[in-house]
Amino acid sequence: MSSRTKYIGAVEIGTSKVTVMIGELSQGRSLSIIGFGECQSRGVLKGAVMDFRSASDATHSALLAAESNAGVRIDEVYLAQAGGHLDGFYNEAAVNVSAADNMVSAVDIDTVMRLAKAKALPEGRMVVHNIRRPFRLDGRLVPDPEHLVGQRLEVGYWTVHGQENKIADNIHVIRGFNVPVAELILASLASGTMVTSAEDRQNGVLVIDVGAGTTDYALYHDGCAYTTGVVPVGGSHLTNDLSLGLRLTEGQGEKIKLRFGRGTVTARDKGEKVWLNGDFAIGDRQFPRQAIEQITAARVWEIFEVVKKRLGATFVPEHMVAGVVLTGGTSKLPGFAEAAAKVFGVTARLGEAPGYINENLRDPGYSTALGLLYFGLNSSAEAVASGRRRNSGFFSRLFANA
Amino acid sequence: MSTHVNTLPQVRTWRDIQQSIAPKAMSSEGRKRLQVATVKTVAVLFSLCLAGWGVYEAMRTWEQNPMAIKSPVKSAPVKYIDSRSDGVLDKSWVTRTLALPKTAGLMELDLYALRNRLLESGQVRTAVLTRKFPETLLVMIEERSPVLRVRAQVGAASAKDLLVARDGVIYEGVGYEPTLIATLPYMADVSLKSVQGRFQPVEGMEKVADLLSTARANIPALYSGWNVVSLARYALDGEIVVRSKDIKEITFGTRESDFFKQIAQLDLIVETGHVQADHPAVSINLAVGGVQVPVVFEKPEGTAPGDKKNLAPRSATPPSTIRSEPQRPSAFFTNIHFPSREF
Q: Give the CATH number, domain containing residue A309.
A: 3.30.420.40
Q: Is B8 on the interface with A (CB under 8 A)?
A: yes
The 8-class DSSP code of residue A256 comes to H
Q: Which residues of A touch B11 (CB under 8 A)?
A: 117-121, 126-127
Of A117, A168, A402, Cβ closest to residue B17? A168
Q: Which residues of B touch A180 (CB under 8 A)?
A: 19
Residue A319 and residue A204 in contact, taking contact as beta carbons nearer than 8 Å: yes
Could you give the CA distance from residue B290 to residue B336 in angstroms, rounded to a whole number? 9
| Secondary structure class of B54 (helix, strand, coil) | helix
Please give, rounded to a whole number of angstroms, the shortest distance from the CA of B103 to a CA of chain A: 49
Q: Is B34 on the interface with A (CB under 8 A)?
A: yes
Residues in Cβ contact with B133 at an 8 Å cutoff, skipping those fewer than 6 apart:
B75, B106
pLDDT band at B310 (very low <50, low <70, confident <90, very high): very low
Residue A233 has pLDDT above 70, yes or no: yes
User: How many pairs of residues across A and B have Cβ atoms under 8 Å apart?
Assistant: 95
Task: State whether A9 and A155 are in the same domain.
Answer: no
A169's torsion region: left (phi>0), alpha (psi -120 to 50) or beta? alpha
Query: A212 lies in a domain?
Result: no
Task: State whether A73 and A121 are in the same domain.
Answer: no
Task: State whether A40 and A67 are in the same domain.
Answer: yes
Nearest CA in chain B to A161: B13
Residues in Cβ contact with A73 at an 8 Å cutoff, skipping those fewer than 6 apart:
A7, A67
Nearest to A323 by CA among A171, A191, A219: A219
Task: State whether A242 and A313 are in the same domain.
Answer: yes
Task: State whether A270 and A303 are in the same domain.
Answer: yes
Could you give the CA distance from residue A68 to residue A347 in angstroms, rounded to a whole number? 42
Distance of alpha carbon B316 from its chain centroid, rounded? 46
The predicted pLDDT at position B4 comes to 57
Of A81, A120, A398, Cβ closest to residue B40? A398
Query: A373 lies in a domain?
Result: yes
Could you give the CA distance from residue B67 to residue B168 in angstroms, rounded to a whole number? 40
| Secondary structure class of B189 (helix, strand, coil) | coil
Query: A217 lies in a domain?
Result: no
Query: A173 lies in a domain?
Result: yes
Please give, rounded to a whole number of angstroms, the shortest distance from the CA of B52 to a CA of chain A: 17
Lowest mean per-residue pLDDT among A157-166, A244-253, A280-289, A354-363: A280-289
Residue B334 has pLDDT above 70, yes or no: no
Mean pLDDT of A98-104: 91
Which A positions 49-78 lie with beta carbon below 8 A of chain B?
52, 56-57, 60, 63-64
Task: State whether A72 and A184 are in the same domain.
Answer: yes
Residues in Cβ contact with B37 at an 8 Å cutoff, skipping those fewer than 6 apart:
A178, A398, A399, A400, A401, A402
Lowest mean per-residue pLDDT among A175-184, A267-276, A287-296: A267-276
Task: State whether A148 and A116 are in the same domain.
Answer: yes
Q: Is A105 on the interface with B (CB under 8 A)?
A: no
Nearest CA in chain A to B2: A111
What is the rounded end-to-end Cα distance, in angstroms, of chain B? 105
Query: A116 lies in a domain?
Result: yes
The predicted pLDDT at position A308 comes to 95
Q: Is B47 on the interface with A (CB under 8 A)?
A: no
Nearest CA in chain B to A112: B5
Of B4, B11, B33, Cβ closest to residue A178? B33
Could you give the CA distance from residue A357 to residue A349 in angstroms, rounded to a whole number? 19
Query: A207 lies in a domain?
Result: no
Residue B124 has pLDDT above 60, yes or no: yes
Amino acid at A241: D
Query: Pairing mode, if any, of strands A273-275 and A324-327?
Result: unpaired
The predicted pLDDT at position A78 comes to 95
Query: A225 lies in a domain?
Result: no
Residue A68 has pLDDT above 90, yes or no: yes
Residue A371 has pLDDT above 70, yes or no: yes
Q: Which residues of B touch A399 (CB under 8 A)?
A: 37, 41
Residue A361, phi then psi, degrees to nearest 5: -105, 10
Task: State whether A234 and A312 are in the same domain.
Answer: yes
pLDDT band at B309 (very low <50, low <70, confident <90, very high): very low
Mean pLDDT of B211-227: 89
Q: Give just the sign of the alpha carbon dihedral B167, B169, B173, B175.
A: negative
**Residue with the larger pLDDT of the pair A105 and A398:** A105
Q: Which residues of A touch B1 (CB under 8 A)?
A: 95, 98, 111
Domain span at residue A121 reads 87-161
Query: A209 lies in a domain?
Result: no
The predicted pLDDT at position B300 comes to 62
DSSP string, A46-70: TTEES-HHHHHHHHHHHHHHHHHHH
Residue B277 has pLDDT above 70, yes or no: no
Model pLDDT for residues B41-64, shown as the tens digit of each residue: 999 999 999 999 999 998 988 888
Residue A262 and residue A335 in contact, taking contact as beta carbons nearer than 8 Å: yes
Task: State whether A62 and A99 are in the same domain.
Answer: no
Mean pLDDT of A12-24: 94
Model pLDDT for residues A328-358, shown as the tens digit of each residue: 999 999 999 999 999 999 999 999 888 888 8
pLDDT > 70 in chain A, percent? 95
Task: State whether A178 and A280 are in the same domain.
Answer: no
Could you give the CA distance from residue B286 to residue B269 in angstroms, rounded to a whole number? 11
The predicted pLDDT at position A182 comes to 93
- CATH number of the domain at A107, please: 3.30.1490.110
Question: Looking at A161, A179, A213, which one is the last position of a domain?
Answer: A161
Q: Is B44 on the interface with A (CB under 8 A)?
A: yes
Task: State whether A322 and A358 are in the same domain.
Answer: no
Could you give the CA distance from residue B292 to residue B295 in angstroms, rounded to a whole number? 9
Mean pLDDT of B208-228: 89
Task: State whether A242 and A344 are in the same domain.
Answer: yes
Residue B119 and residue B127 in contact, taking contact as beta carbons nearer than 8 Å: yes
Could you give the CA distance from residue B300 to residue A109 in angstroms, rounded to a whole number? 118
Mean pLDDT of B149-169: 85
- Measured in residues, chain B has a length of 343
Residues in Cβ contact with A324 at an 8 Å cutoff, skipping those fewer than 6 apart:
A205, A206, A207, A208, A337, A340, A341, A344, A346, A347, A348, A349
Q: Which residues of A touch B44 (CB under 8 A)?
A: 395, 398
The predicted pLDDT at position A279 comes to 76
Q: Is A94 on the interface with B (CB under 8 A)?
A: no
Residue B170, phi then psi, degrees to nearest 5: -105, 130
The predicted pLDDT at position B165 comes to 92
Query: Pairing mode, if any, of strands A286-288 and B124-132?
Result: unpaired
Lowest mean per-residue pLDDT among A219-228, A393-402, B320-329: B320-329
Nearest CA in chain A to B17: A168
Total domains, chain A: 3
Q: Is B38 on the interface with A (CB under 8 A)?
A: yes
The predicted pLDDT at position A103 comes to 93
The pTM of this model reads 0.60
Q: Which residues of B touch A60 (CB under 8 A)?
A: 27, 29-30
Distance of alpha carbon A100 from its chain centroid, rounded? 45
